[in-house]
A and B are shown apart, each in its own frame.
Chain A
Amino acid sequence: MNRSLLILLAATAGGVALAGCGSPAAEYRRYETFAHKAAQDAGIEKLKASQLSEVDDLLAAFYGTPDEPAIPAVEDADIASVLSLPLLQMAAGPVGSDEQGRPRGLYREHCAHCHGITGDGNGPTAAFLNPYPRDYRPGKFKFKSTPVGGKPTHADLKKVLLEGVAGTAMPSFKLLTDIEVEALTQYVIYLSLRGETERELIRMQAELDLDSEPNARLVNIVTENATDEERQLQQEQMAAVKEKIATVVNKWTGAMDASVEIPPRPEMTPEELVESRKLGRTLFYGSIANCVKCHGDSALGDGQLTDYDDWTKEFIGEGKDPEVVAQYVALGLPEPRNIRPRNLRMGIYRGGMRPIDIYWRIRNGIEGTPMPAATMKPDGDPNAKGLTPDDIWHIVNYIESLPYESISNPNDAAERALERMRM
């Protein structure tokens, strides 16, 4: 019995020891790669630790923490139109739910293992995934209805969450409730806003002239004994920071109704559709759309295989210097991988399978990738180079026919398609 007593005592001691093993509070990861790049761009070796700490403090003041998010209080932006605090709180924090099944910590439950707590696309599983999970911080998203350079609409982001991205680790969340998907969508926007703000603040830090004023800060700390002039200066500095945040927020609020309007797909008879596909094929191989350059002669996605996405090129540039690559990889950049154009003969399109989705990809390009936006013909100038909306529909029609086109004898594809339609 003495031995049993000893075992019980040991178990109790183990339990007491484990009482100190609570999870540490989750923390955002610093944007080390961008801090390095900003310093290089500014011609300095690196930012001081105190500068980066100030960025951390400002971000915490405006955006809160992973457990307690906050909506930045800026006057010149209608942030309430894109973010709601109760929904952010539902998505943030540790995972759990209450007796009624109301969830909390949705982001950590469903997203953080790939996208990371910070939304830097560098969660624990990221290295194994291809393509890498999206880094929200630059505020660039691939599949959207808005032009290149613009933010996605709320509906664009929600569509990706609901439908997932075929052939990748990005799942469909259609089994979650509407409110849960909405909370996650807003949390993605929140992390993106925070990341873009971090970039702006780091850039501002890099531009400070520390040679003439070694203790310069973005926002000075004022003591109780500060003069009116010092207080005034601090208020101006804070206003400058808020202006940067407002600029970032306004890009998002402005995008909510910035979808590119698309003329309806023309109604066509089977014969007209065959003609349309022929026209689309001509445009596909022509010099204006020039799809063949990247998607290849056979549209197998083998036209170019050596390019990178913008998330990578921003840091390693075009030179692909191994030393530079190693430097940024050490700072957290995922090992660079070449981006591969879509194999159009499979009939699987990551941005969506509807004709309108294909139209948007051609019309707007794919943000952050070598897929450019179409050059559109200016209104009222029939001789100008460029595509018309009808041209894009022709290309869409051709692309939709590619999975059925014979690679060895593509010329008879249109006729065979017509036969199929008549059957």
Chain B
Amino acid sequence: MSQREIQRQSPWPHRLAVLLALVTFPLIWVGGLVTTYDAGMAVPDWPGTYGYNLFAYPWTTWVAGPWDLFIEHGHRLLGATAGLVAIALVIVTFLTEKRTVIRFAAAGALVLVVVQGALGGARVLLDARLVAMIHGCLGPAFFAYLAALIAATSCRPPSSERTAAPVSTLGPLARTAWILAALACGQLILGAVLRHIPYGATPQVFRIALVFHLVVAAAVVLQVGWTAVQAWPVGRQFRGLRSPSLALLALVALQIVLGLATYVAKYSWPAWFGDYQFAAAYVVEERSLHQALVTTAHVAGGSLILFTAVTLAMRSSLAAVSGESRAPSAHSQPASPFSALLWKRRTAL
């Protein structure tokens, strides 16, 4: 697709994808709060709320009601809002977008919203922690999917304006960013296992999940560092690559602090801090606001890292595709398997 064609495309699919992401991030927060407060069963029926249609449930009962009911019903309303935005996205994309891959991607977003809603319903109707865990994993995965959709529908794909595209440098960056996204995704799954661990599980199960969570955290830190190292020189020629890599550095630093704070807020300081007075005097407060916020912020931070990693991966892959399509003779092979997929699709258009 030429620059002129890109400029001619409707901005609305992109705008709606951004809007959907803006709705989804608070949805992840509230979903995290539902898990933190164990409020998933505060409304025992689904898809209605205490016999009412979801939207017809008296708002005064909801707002003035118990906290668990407030966040669970609020989570459902936000989820329904995401569904409505996803429907609008599909309609607008099918009306304005000619690229089949984008049309399918928009439809895929709606399918994911529907599946996620169904999983939420199954979690309530079955009262099953396993389903809650899958529901908790699919939320961030959907958020990451939106990152890819936002990048793909963008009217300003990352491109080199100053020099001939050094596609060879984009391929490794794209690969590194995709690996980072995969690691972040795995880390979210491990986090979900820790949060939704069955009550009857043995300590060994939790031990394994926690040790893996720490190991993968270290891998994510290293990968984020490596991504930044790769993105910095490439970002000189391609706009939109440096900012996500810098954001990743900041987010990972914040996430480490939040992870440690979550442990302390839930389980107090580890025993080896016991000789320090601040640790010996610390009393965990169950259901305190700071405990809930820190824990939920850690969950949301993980989603944001995944989102940013996918954004960087998509942008570098798209930039690689863009460079390859403009200079096919210089680089007859795509820079990465991901760009290969996009390269095929774009050249087929």
Query: Which residues of A lie under 8 Å from residue B283 when comparing CB positions?
Result: 163-166, 171-172
| Measured CA separation A19–B213 after assembly (Å) | 29
Query: Which residues of A lie under 8 Å from residue B207 when comparing CB positions?
Result: 127-128
Given that A4-B111, A112-B199 are contacting pairs, would A164 and B280 also be in contact in the complex, using a CB cutoff of 8 Å?
Answer: no
Decide: B114 and A11 in contact? CB cutoff 8 A.
yes
| Measured CA separation A112–B65 after assembly (Å) | 27
Decide: B131 and A21 in contact? CB cutoff 8 A.
yes
Query: Which residues of B lie under 8 Å from residue A163 when comparing CB positions?
Result: 283
Given that A11-B114, A171-B283, A175-B286 are contacting pairs, would A127 and B204 also be in contact in the complex, using a CB cutoff of 8 Å?
Answer: yes
Given that A11-B111, A15-B115, A167-B269 are contacting pairs, would A97 and B203 also be in contact in the complex, using a CB cutoff of 8 Å?
Answer: no
Query: Which residues of B lie under 8 Å from residue A164 when comparing CB positions?
Result: 283-285
Which stretch of B3-11, B119-127, B234-242, B331-339 is in the interface? Answer: B119-127
Beta-carbon nearest neighbor of A4 in chain B: B107
Dominant SS among interface residues on chain A: loop
Query: Which residues of A lie under 8 Å from residue B286 when comparing CB positions?
Result: 110, 171-173, 175-176
Nearest CB of chain A from residue B214's CB, rounded to whole Å: 11
Decide: B274 and A23 in contact? CB cutoff 8 A.
no
Decide: B203 and A22 in contact? CB cutoff 8 A.
no
Q: Which of B3-30 contact A (CB under 8 A)?
A: none
* Complex interface bits, A90-117 against B, C-beta within 8 A gives 1, otherwise 0: 0000111111110001001110110011
Decide: A18 and B111 in contact? CB cutoff 8 A.
no
Decide: B206 and A167 in contact? CB cutoff 8 A.
no
* Complex interface bits, A35-60 against B, C-beta within 8 A gives 1, otherwise 0: 00000000000000000000000000
Q: Which of B100-154 contact A (CB under 8 A)?
A: 104, 107-108, 111, 114-115, 118-119, 122, 126-131, 134
In the complex, A8 has a CB within 8 A of chain B? yes
In the complex, A216 has a CB within 8 A of chain B? no
| Measured CA separation A346–B279 after assembly (Å) | 11
Decide: B69 and A101 in contact? CB cutoff 8 A.
yes
* Complex interface bits, B264-304 against A, C-beta within 8 A gives 1, otherwise 0: 00111111001101011111111110000000000000000
* Complex interface bits, B72-106 against A, C-beta within 8 A gives 1, otherwise 0: 00000000000000000000000000000000100
In the complex, A355 has a CB within 8 A of chain B? no
Decide: A95 and B41 in contact? CB cutoff 8 A.
yes
Query: Which residues of A lie under 8 Å from residue B266 when comparing CB positions?
Result: 169
Beta-carbon nearest neighbor of A106 in chain B: B38
In the complex, B42 has a CB within 8 A of chain A? yes
Q: What total of chain A residues lie within 8 Å of the partner, measured CB to CB?
A: 60
Beta-carbon nearest neighbor of B134 in chain A: A18
Query: Which residues of B lie under 8 Å from residue A168 when comparing CB positions?
Result: 268
| Measured CA separation A22–B123 after assembly (Å) | 8
Decide: B108 and A109 in contact? CB cutoff 8 A.
no
User: Residue A124 contacts which of B199, B274, B282 (CB distance < 8 angstroms)?
Assistant: B199
Q: What total of chain B residues lie within 8 Å of the partner, measured CB to CB?
A: 60
Nearest CB of chain B from residue A247's CB, rounded to whole Å: 30
Decide: A171 and B122 in contact? CB cutoff 8 A.
no
Interface centre among B50, B203, B287 (most CB of A within 10 A): B203
Decide: B284 and A172 in contact? CB cutoff 8 A.
yes
Decide: A167 and B287 in contact? CB cutoff 8 A.
no
Beta-carbon nearest neighbor of A353 in chain B: B281
In the complex, A319 has a CB within 8 A of chain B? no
User: Residue B131 contacts which of A18, A29, A126 (CB distance < 8 angstroms)?
Assistant: A18
Query: Which residues of B lie under 8 Å from residue A27 when comparing CB positions?
Result: 200
Decide: A167 and B281 in contact? CB cutoff 8 A.
yes
Decide: A96 and B42 in contact? CB cutoff 8 A.
yes
In the complex, A389 has a CB within 8 A of chain B? no
In the complex, A130 has a CB within 8 A of chain B? yes
Q: Which of B161-217 contact A (CB under 8 A)?
A: 197-207, 210
User: Residue A348 contacts which of B128, B267, B280 (CB distance < 8 angstroms)?
Assistant: B280
| Measured CA separation A195–B260 after assembly (Å) | 35
In the complex, A422 has a CB within 8 A of chain B? no
Query: Which residues of A lie under 8 Å from residue B122 when comparing CB positions?
Result: 15, 18-19, 21
Query: Which residues of A lie under 8 Å from residue B206 when comparing CB positions?
Result: 124-125, 127-128
Nearest CB of chain B from residue A96's CB, rounded to whole Å: 3
Decide: A97 and B280 in contact? CB cutoff 8 A.
no
Query: Which residues of B lie under 8 Å from residue A3 when comparing CB positions?
Result: 104
| Measured CA separation A14–B126 after assembly (Å) | 15
Query: Which residues of A lie under 8 Å from residue B225 when comparing CB positions?
Result: none
* Complex interface bits, A1-35 against B, C-beta within 8 A gives 1, otherwise 0: 00110011001001100110111001101000000
| Measured CA separation A168–B201 after assembly (Å) | 22
| Measured CA separation A347–B127 after assembly (Å) | 45
9 more A-B residue pairs beyond the given contacts A101-B66, A169-B268, with a C-beta to C-beta distance below 8 A: A14-B115, A18-B122, A21-B130, A23-B127, A101-B68, A124-B206, A166-B282, A343-B275, A348-B277
Q: Can you show 12 pairs from A to B with CB atoms below 8 A apart?
A: A7-B111, A18-B126, A94-B127, A97-B68, A124-B197, A125-B203, A127-B203, A128-B207, A164-B283, A166-B283, A175-B285, A176-B286
Q: Top 10 nearest A-B pairs by Cβ distance?
A: A101-B66, A96-B41, A130-B271, A127-B203, A171-B284, A22-B126, A124-B206, A171-B286, A167-B280, A169-B267
Chain A residues within 8 Å of B, Cβ to Cβ: 3-4, 7-8, 11, 14-15, 18-19, 21-23, 26-27, 29, 94-101, 105, 108-110, 112-113, 116-117, 122-131, 163-176, 334, 343, 346-348
